[in-house]
Structure 1
Amino acid sequence: MINGEKNIEKPIRWSMVGGGRSSQIGYIHRSAALRDNNFELVAGAFDIDPERGKDFGVKLHVAPERCYPDYITMFKEEGKREDGIQAVSIATPNGTHYKITKAALQAGLHVICEKPLCFTTEEALELEKLAKSENLVIGITYGYAGHQMIEQARQMIERGELGEIRIVNMQFAHGFHSDAVESQNASTNWRVDPKVAGPSYVLGDLGTHPLYLSEVMLPHLKIKRLMCARQSFVKSRAPLEDNAFTMMEYDNGAFGTLWSSCINAGSMHGQKIRVIGSKASIEWWDEHPNQLKFEVQGKPAMILDRGMDYLYPQALADDRIGGGHPEGLFEAWSNLYTRFAKAMAAAGSGGTLEGVWYPGIKAGVEGVRWVENCVRSADQGAVWIDYH
C-alpha cells in the first residue's frame, strides 16, 4: 500500500514544457508528480506565450527566473545550475514531441512524454538508442495503466486463471466529437490537423491507450499482422480519421480487435478491454475503474473490487486508501509517476530496477509502430499487413 513514505532518496528536480493554464492535461501531470514527493517542480516553459507562461509558473510557486520563454532556453540555463533540473514532462501538441524529447535527452534529462512519442518508428528507435546511450529514462503517460485492477488482471493472466488466451477485445470510443467541435475549440482543433497531430487522430489519440493496457496484461503476446479500416464521418477531418476498426493476429494464434472512435454518440468514455481465455474471461471498463469483471465458464460472474484482501499483493501495492473508497485517474497517474521516479533514481545511481514495470520507451516505440501500421493498412484499402 502507498502511504506517502519516500520511494527515492531525494525528490527529482523536475520541470514541464507546456501544461500551462489552458492545458487539458497539465494539472494531472503536476498532481501526479507531486503527490508522493517523488518530484519537485522547480522550472518550466509552460506556454507558447512567454509572459503568460511566466505568470502561470509564478502562481505555481516556481521562481520567476526559472520560468522560461521556451524549452531551448530552459535546457541551456538549467544546465548551468548546480541545482538544475533532472527531468522534464512534455505536455505539448503531438508534432513537437520528437524534437523536445531529443533535445532533453541531449541535455542529459530524463523525459516523461505525452503520447505519441513521435510520428514514425524510425524516429522512435532513434530516441530509444539515444536514451540507452545516455542511461536516461523515457516514460510515456499511458495513465490508465496505473489503475490497481490492471495489475490484478496482469497477475490473473500470468497465473493461468484464464487458461489459454484466445481473444482480446478492446475499444476507446467516446461521443464528444460526434460533431465538428474543433471549429469552436482550439485545444481540439490541432488534433485534427495532420501537420500538428500526425498521420492519425483517434488511432493515436485514443486507440493506443487500450493497446498499452493489453501490453501490460499480456506481455507475452506479440502482434504478427493487422488490418485496419478508418473513416472520417465528419468530412472536414479528412484525411485524419474519427473512427477506426483494427483487427490483429498475435503470434500464438490469438486474435484481437480494437475500435477507436470519437463519434460514438452518447458514450461518455467507452474505454474497455476484455480478455477471453479457454477457461475464463476478464473485463475492465475505465468508467468503473475500481472493478474487474471475472467470468469463469459455468460459474456465476464475479465483480472484483480494488483494495480487497482477495487481490494479489502486486495489485494491493498500488492501493492508496483501502477497499470501499473510490480511486480515480489522478491516483492512477500518481502510481505511474511513482514508477517513473523509481526508474530515474535507479538509472541515476547506476542501480537496477527489478519488479517494476512502467510505460517506457518500448511502449512509446510500439504505440508509434502500431499507428503507423494501422494507417498503412487503411490507406491500402484495409488489407492485412505484416506488423514488423
Structure 2
Amino acid sequence: MIQGEKNVEQPIRWAMIGGGRGSQIGYIHRSSALRDHNFELVAGAFDINPNRGKDFGVNLHVEPERCYAGYKEMFEKEAKREDGIQAVSIATPNGTHYEMTKAALYAGLHVICEKPLCFTVKEAIELEKLAKNKQLVVGITYGYAGHQMIEQARQMIENGELGDICIVNMQFAHGFHSAPVEAANASTKWRVDPKMAGPSYVLGDLGTHPLYLSKVMLPNFKIKKLMCTRQSFVKSRAPLEDNAYTIMEYENGAIGTVWSFCVNAGSMHGQKIRVIGSKASIEWWDEHPNQLRYEVQGKPAMILDRGMNYLYPEALADDRIGGGHPEGLFEAWSNLYTRFAKAIAAAERRDWREDLWYPGIEAGVEGVRWVENCVRSADNGAVWVEYQ
C-alpha cells in the first residue's frame, strides 16, 4: 500500500511548461506529482502570457524569479543554478511537444509529456535515440494505466487465468463533442486543427489510451497489420476524424479492435477494454475504475474490487486507501508519477530498473506509430496495411 513515504532520496526538482490557470490537465499533473513528495515544483513557464503565468506560478508558491516567460528562458536560466530543475512536464497543445521535448533533452532534463509525443514516427524515433543517448527518462501520461485494476488484469493474464487470448476489444467513445463545441471552446478548437493536433483527432486523442492499457495487460502482443476507417460526422472537423474503427491482427493470431469516437451522444466517457481468452474474459470500464469484471465460462460473473486481499500483491502495491473506499483519476495519475519518479531516480544513479514498467519513450513512439498506420489505412480506402 502507498502511504506517501519516500520513493526517492530527495524530491526531484520539477518544472512545468503549460498547465496554467484554467487548465484541467495542469491541475491533475501537479496534484499527482506532488502527492507523494517525489517531486517539488520549483519553476515553470505556465502560460503563453508571461504576466498571467507569473501571477499563477506565485499562487502555486513558486518563487517569482523562477516563473518564466517561456521554456527556452527557463532551461537556460535553470541550468545556471546549483538547485536547477531536473525534470519538466509538458502540458501544452500537441503541436508543441516535439520541439519542447527535444529542447528539454538537449538541456539534460528528464521529460514527462502529454501524448502524442510528436506527429511522425521519424520524429519519435529521433527523440527516442536522443533520450537513450543522454540516458534520460521520457514518460508519457497515459494516466489510466495507473489504476490498480489494470495491474490486476496484467497479473491475471500473465498467470494464465484467461487461457489463450483471442480477442482484445477496446473503445474510448464519449459524447461531449457530438456538436461543434469547438466553435466556442478554445481547449477543443486546437484539437481539430491539423496544425496543432497533427494527422488525427480521436485516433490520437482517445484511441491511444485503451491501446496503451492493452500494452500494459499484454506486453508481448505485437501488431502485424491493421485496417482503419475514419469519418467526420461534424463536417467542419474534416480532414480530422471524430469517429474511427480500427481492426488489428497480432503476430500471434489474436484480433484487436479499437473504437475511437467523440460523438457518442449521451455517453459520459465510454472507455472500456475487454480481453477474451479460451477460459475466461475480463472487462474494465473507466467510469467504474475500482472494479474489474471477471467472467469464467460456465460460472457466474464476478466483480473484483480494488483494495481487497484476493488481488495479486502487484495490484495491492498500488493501493492507497484500502478496500471499500473509491479511488479515482488522481490516484491513478499519482501511481504513474510515482513510477516516473522511481525511473528518474534510477536513471540519475545510472541504475536502470528493468523490473519497473511505466509509459516511457517506447510508449510514445508506439502511439505515434499506431496513429500513422491508422491514417495510412483510412486515407487509402480503409485497406489492410502491414504495421510499419
- Equivalent AA in structure 2 for residue 99 of structure 1: E
- Equivalent AA in structure 2 for residue 187 of structure 1: S
**1:165 aligned partner:** 165
User: How many angstroms apart in 2 are the aligned matches of 1:355 and 1:133?
Assistant: 21
Tell me, yes or no, if structure 1 residue 324 matches structure 2 residue 324.
yes
**2:209 aligned partner:** 209
Alignment of 1:361-372 (within 5 A): 361-372=361-372
User: How many angstroms apart in 1 are the aligned matches of 2:21 and 2:283?
Assistant: 36
Report SS of the residue matched to 2:324.
coil
**2:15 aligned partner:** 15
User: How many angstroms apart in 2 are the aligned matches of 1:253 and 1:351?
Assistant: 37
Q: How far 1:33 sits from its partner (Å)?
A: 0.2
Deviates most, 348-357 or 154-163: 348-357
User: How many angstroms apart in 1 are the aligned matches of 2:364 and 2:55?
Assistant: 32
- Equivalent AA in structure 1 for residue 242 of structure 2: D
**1:67 aligned partner:** 67
Report SS of the residue matched to 1:52.
helix
- Equivalent AA in structure 1 for residue 374 of structure 2: C
User: Please, what TM-score do these two structures have when normalized by structure 2?
Assistant: 1.00
For structure 1, which runs of at least 5 residues remain unmatched after alignment? none
**2:380 aligned partner:** 380
User: How many angstroms apart in 2 are the aligned matches of 1:2 and 1:354?
Assistant: 21
User: How many angstroms apart in 2 are the aligned matches of 1:296 and 1:273?
Assistant: 17
Alignment of 1:302-317 (within 5 A): 302-317=302-317
User: How many angstroms apart in 2 are the aligned matches of 1:302 and 1:156?
Assistant: 14
**1:107 aligned partner:** 107
User: How many angstroms apart in 2 are the aligned matches of 1:276 and 1:133?
Assistant: 39
Report SS of the residue matched to 1:25.
helix
Cα deviation 1:273-321 (Å, max 9, x = unaligned): 0000000000000000000000000011000000000000000000000
Q: How far 1:4 sits from its partner (Å)?
A: 1.0
Structure 1: 4+ residue segments shifted above 2 A? none
User: How many angstroms apart in 1 are the aligned matches of 2:271 and 2:156?
Assistant: 20
Cα deviation 1:189-229 (Å, max 9, x = unaligned): 00000000000000000000000000000001100000000
For structure 2, which runs of at least 5 residues remain unmatched after alignment? none
User: How many angstroms apart in 2 are the aligned matches of 1:11 and 1:273?
Assistant: 35
- Count of aligned positions: 388
Alpha-carbon RMSD across the aligned residues, in angstroms, is: 0.4
User: How many angstroms apart in 1 are the aligned matches of 2:6 and 2:185?
Assistant: 41
Q: How far 1:167 sits from its partner (Å)?
A: 0.1
- Equivalent AA in structure 1 for residue 88 of structure 2: V
User: How many angstroms apart in 1 are the aligned matches of 2:299 and 2:343?
Assistant: 41
User: How many angstroms apart in 2 are the aligned matches of 1:378 and 1:4?
Assistant: 46
User: How many angstroms apart in 2 are the aligned matches of 1:66 and 1:7?
Assistant: 26
Cα deviation 1:326-349 (Å, max 9, x = unaligned): 000000000000000000000001
**1:276 aligned partner:** 276
User: How many angstroms apart in 1 are the aligned matches of 2:279 and 2:381?
Assistant: 36
**1:156 aligned partner:** 156
User: How many angstroms apart in 2 are the aligned matches of 1:125 and 1:206?
Assistant: 22
Q: How far 1:22 sits from its partner (Å)?
A: 1.9
Cα deviation 1:94-119 (Å, max 9, x = unaligned): 00000000000000000000000000
Q: How far 1:351 sits from its partner (Å)?
A: 1.2
Tell me, yes or no, if structure 1 residue 30 matches structure 2 residue 30.
yes
Q: How far 1:350 sits from its partner (Å)?
A: 1.3
Q: Percent identity?
A: 82
User: How many angstroms apart in 1 are the aligned matches of 2:196 and 2:290?
Assistant: 35
Q: How far 1:24 sits from its partner (Å)?
A: 2.5
Report SS of the residue matched to 1:162.
coil
User: How many angstroms apart in 2 are the aligned matches of 1:242 and 1:24?
Assistant: 22
- Equivalent AA in structure 1 for residue 363 of structure 2: A
**1:88 aligned partner:** 88
Tell me, yes or no, if structure 1 residue 266 matches structure 2 residue 266.
yes
Alignment of 1:162-311 (within 5 A): 162-311=162-311
Q: How far 1:356 sits from its partner (Å)?
A: 1.4
User: How many angstroms apart in 2 are the aligned matches of 1:351 and 1:372?
Assistant: 34
Report SS of the residue matched to 2:24.
coil
Cα deviation 1:38-66 (Å, max 9, x = unaligned): 00000000000000000000000000000
User: How many angstroms apart in 1 are the aligned matches of 2:351 and 2:190?
Assistant: 41
Q: How far 1:355 sits from its partner (Å)?
A: 2.2
Cα deviation 1:245-284 (Å, max 9, x = unaligned): 0000000000011000000000000000000000000000
Report SS of the residue matched to 1:357.
coil
User: How many angstroms apart in 2 are the aligned matches of 1:197 and 1:331?
Assistant: 28
User: How many angstroms apart in 2 are the aligned matches of 1:160 and 1:30?
Assistant: 38
Report SS of the residue matched to 2:161.
coil
Tell me, yes or no, if structure 1 residue 97 matches structure 2 residue 133.
no
- Equivalent AA in structure 1 for residue 362 of structure 2: K
User: How many angstroms apart in 2 are the aligned matches of 1:374 and 1:113?
Assistant: 22
